[in-house]
Amino acid sequence: MRPGVFTVFITGGTGLIGRAAIARLLRQHPDVRIAALVRSGERWRSLVTTLGPLVARVVPVRGDITCDGLALGRGAHHWLERHSRAVVHLAADTVFSRSRDAARAVNVDGTRHLLEAVRSLGSGYRPRLVFSSSIAVFGPPFPEAIGDDHLAAPLTSYGTQKAIAELLVSDYTRRGFLDGISIRLPTICVRPGEPNKAASGFFSSIIREPLSGHEAVLPVPEDVRHWFASPRAAVGFLVHAATLDQDALGGRRALTMPGVSATVGEMIESLRRIAGAEAVELIRRVPDEATMRMVASWPGRFHTRRAQELGFEAETDFDEIIRAHVEDELNGVVGAVAA
């Protein structure tokens, strides 16, 4: 490779945040090349479509982190050992309706396989590894706002798997195999694209669909409070984490990211201010007991002083989150519902 050019190795790069992170890295850093782990040609084609000409600086690496021994293939080991200064681990499975075993294979076993692959390359290789964790590592009872010293005690399988992965990243860092950081992401909103099966999907749907002139279903009361950041902010977290001075991190390698605490009612009022009453009228209330029970176990407010002191930034209110979606996904059209 040319002097000064370096590679970032990414898992989960074909997902929403992964595609956006790759695009931002390539635009902002002309000396960066991406090695993106992909499991199929279809996933690679989705990345090609998103990146356009930028894809010339992306190398597809075939592999599957769920296979023992990191059966990523020789190509993955090559890019890790010879070129990659940073590893960004975004691959995750949040849809347990398919298979809890499948989710665990990605979220726990996949993380361990990736860490072992880095460790196996020897003491001469110690990359910065950024792991995408979640506020799901916290479980009730909650204080009014969760601070930096609050115990991670999840009450969901997904949260448990993320907490296990955080501990693995910290342990491999302590033992000198890599330089890791786990960033606990807020719920990302507004997610573009089609509605998904994630339990938190309605948070995006009640904004995204009305902005496009379509009906959305709200399954919980308007007093439900949650913690949010935009896809734009999430990408900023990842890029900043990949370049943060390790001396500033110290021994505590898991950080809760800043965000916006808002109730569903406050989200709807933000929608009203930006898109008008016509958009709000497209939200249909259909209470769902199962979703309400699940949401009741999620945290709603954080104090993120440590992350903010280290330079991580997010939106300051939900209006900003909606405007980010309008600018990034709707060509900046504000105040009118699409026909």
Amino acid type, 11: T
Query: Going from the N-terminus, what domains does the chain have, and what CATH number goes with each?
Result: 6-185+231-256 (3.40.50.720), 188-228+259-329 (3.90.25.10)
The secondary element (H helix, E strand) that includes residue 160 is helix 157-174
Going by DSSP bridges, is the β-strand pair 260-263/225-229 parallel, antiparallel, or unpaired?
A: antiparallel
Amino acid type, 74: R
Long-range contacts of 144-149 (CB under 8 A, 24+ apart): 144/301, 145/261, 145/301, 145/302, 145/303, 146/256, 146/299, 146/301, 146/302, 146/303, 147/302, 147/303, 147/305, 148/256, 148/303, 148/304, 148/305, 148/306
Is 158 known to be catalytic?
yes
The ranges of the chain with pLDDT < 50 are 1-3, 70, 336-339
Look up the pTM and report it. 0.91
Catalytic residue among 9, 131, 138, 158: 158
- Spatial CB neighbours of 173, under 8 Å, sequence gap ≥ 6: 129, 179, 180, 253
Tokens representing residue 87 in the block: 């590893």
Taking a C-beta distance cutoff of 8 angstroms, is the pair 182, 131 a contact?
A: yes
pLDDT at 75: 58
